[in-house]
Amino acid sequence: MKVLANDGISQTGKEALEKGGYEVITTTVAQEQLINYINEKDISVLLVRSATTVRKDLIDACPSLKIIGRGGVGMDNIDVEYAKSKGLKVINTPASSSHSVAELVFGHFYGLARFLHNSNRDMPLEGDSNFGKLKKAYANGTELKGKTLGVLGFGRIGQATAKVALGAGMKVIAFDPFIEKANLELEFFDGQKVNFEIKTISKKDVLKQADFITLHVPAQKEYVIGKAEFDMMKDGVIIANAARGGVLDEIALVKAIESGKVAGAALDVFEKEPKPEIQLLMNASLSLTPHIGAATNEAQDRIGTELAEQIISILG
């Protein structure tokens, strides 16, 4: 049987599938040509990440498909229920990239807290001529240790991010409408383990108390953070969205930055991805990455291996 990994797959995942007797095709087929390609090649398994969409038209037009797989967590680019109603298996890898996203969030947080995103731009331009000026401009950094991290969405990724925060010496508070509490186990290099039980609180209390806020929620119809939510926050809060574009109101964010309510924000995802608004790209208070939350070598290896294991288990 043939597997089309249209958005790529790690070498470990490819090798695992080939060892299981599958032919793995890693050609990237344009969306408008995908139906014809799947039918011509008699593809049984279609694997995607976020670039390729799998909608009703493709599902109806490709009778050879048995499995649709998403390398990652969210599956908003796949008509999941419709695919299942047509007898297809739909799989993803919800746990594989959790720690990668968590580390990216904290890369942004540390950078924003010490103005690294701006300093790294300014030093090559003015480091030799205005060293003293830059030193003064970026002297008022803040430490994360002892601060409060608010986590909105306390599933796998939210919990992984909370673990990094606990390791950094932060207090963690969290909101999730479906989770009352979570037990977080921190493992250290020498085998020691420490357990923390985090009980979720109201969204309002998280917004009021947090010094840093991170979003880990699925795509939804309404904003999770908009003007009303910004108004509840502490002055000088720092925010990260590495979840989905559209869960944070970007216009309200810019206004909150201009008013001083928000000191800085990190965006890995955007409402108008892949063409973010120019006012975001040019805003000095924003630390930006191009949707790379899960894009580590380690995560991609885990994703590929987990997809291969699921496919082999389902199809034999």
**Catalytic center residues:** 244, 273, 291
AA identity, residue 111:
G
- The secondary element (H helix, E strand) that includes residue 14 is helix 11-19
Q: Which two tokens stand for residue 75?
A: 């599956």
Q: Which residues of 188-198 are buried (b: 16+ CB within 10 A; e: fewer)?
A: eeeeeeeeeeb
Under 8 Å between Cβ of 156 and 95:
yes
Under 8 Å between Cβ of 241 and 215:
yes
Among 176, 250, 168, 236, residue whose Cα is nearest residue 206: 176
Query: How many Cβ atoms sit within 10 Å of the Cβ of residue 135?
Result: 11
Query: How many Cβ atoms sit within 10 Å of the Cβ of residue 168?
Result: 16
Q: Rounded to an integer, what distance in angstroms lies between the CA atom of residue 272 and that of residue 160?
A: 27
Under 8 Å between Cβ of 250 and 273:
no
Q: Is 184 exposed, middle or buried (0-12, 13-18, 19+ CB in 10 A)?
A: middle
Residue with tokens 């790294």: 120
Q: Rounded to an integer, what distance in angstroms lies between the CA atom of residue 34 and that of residue 209?
A: 48
- How far separated are the first and last CA of the chain, in Å rounded? 11
